[in-house]
Amino acid sequence: MRAILLSGAIALLFSLLGTRFAIVQFTKLGYGQEIREDGPTTHRTKRGTPTMGGVAIVISVVVGYFAAKLLTGDAPSATAYLLLFLLVGMAAVGFVDDFIKVFMQRNLGLRAWSKMVGQTLVAVGFGAVAIHPALENDDGITPAADQLSFIRDFGPHFLGGDGILYWLGGALLLVIFWIMVTGTSNATNLTDGLDGLLAASSAIVFAAYTIISIWQNNQRCGRPSVEIGTCYEVRDPLDMAILGAAISGACIGFLWWNASPAKIFMGDTGSLALGSVLAGFAILSHTEFLLIILGGLFVMETAAVMLQVSWFKLSRRLTGTPKRIFRMTPIHHHFELLGWEQVTVTIRFWILTGLFVAVGLGIFYAEWVATI
């Protein structure tokens, strides 16, 4: 518990001070955000606000985690290194995207295929290492399981066959990991459209995963006081709690400067990184489908975009006149165009995130109670 508190506090403090430093430096360098021309007119006043603030979040997480491990005298785990790989790797993809927006004055940043290549390399690299037998601990548990999971693993083992079946199962498992990592990183990227919206929402969801990891650590298999039927076969849950606290702390520190009116934006550097590591938490804590509930806000944002695009194309094909379900997507812009203030939309979406998390944690705990 001491390491968890240290990690969160150090990351928060470092983010609070580091983000302020980033605002000053990025402003001097002219790292200003380009604003989409078809967006709400109220956003045009934000043009030129420093971006790439996600750099401060990522560095704060890394510093917070390793400082806590150093102060407590514990060695970092393979699970933590995998999550940090996702965080830093996807941040690098986002940084290139932000760099293009700033220096080439192209609001769309990287071409879609270029961004997908970067996301794929990070996601597949993470997945391949996470299921590799070389990372098995003394109990034979790898960081990622070869089964699907909701709160516990279920269904067939993807790596349970021999020969060609083993390799086909492994390939299918990597595809699932790829969908989760790229899908969640794109979902958080879509959510990052209002001052403070993604920073606070992410802090809430990562706080939930910190709680889940603490519980899994206390109820992990192999502890003398824990019954076999109720235990969790998760590798390094304590380290996931330490890292989850660091990410929550870093997001809160960043929120101090990102709250409306934002002094800095996290950019794709931060949004892609947060989404990818969130998927990593779901995979390594064996709660893959639970992420749909805990990250319900991100699912809602993505679903709205998918519905909007699908109906636009379908209505154009059927009637010749394209139609929209929402006034604009991502859906937070829809509510802005209905006349809601940006702050109102943001706070109500924070409330929704809290409700999704409360439901997810309730289901997680209820499942454990049912196994007693």
Which residue ranges are tagged as binding site? 189, 268
Going by C-alpha positions, the residue among 44, 19, 22, 20 that lies closest to residue 33 is 44
Q: Residues marked as binding for Mg(2+)?
A: 189, 268
Residue with tokens 């958080």: 188
Q: How far apart are CA 89 and CA 203, in angstroms?
A: 20
Q: HSE (CB half, 13 Å, CA atoms) of 358?
A: 6
d(CA 73, CA 11): 18
d(CA 172, CA 148): 11
Separation between Cα atoms, residue 229 and residue 272, nearest integer Å? 37
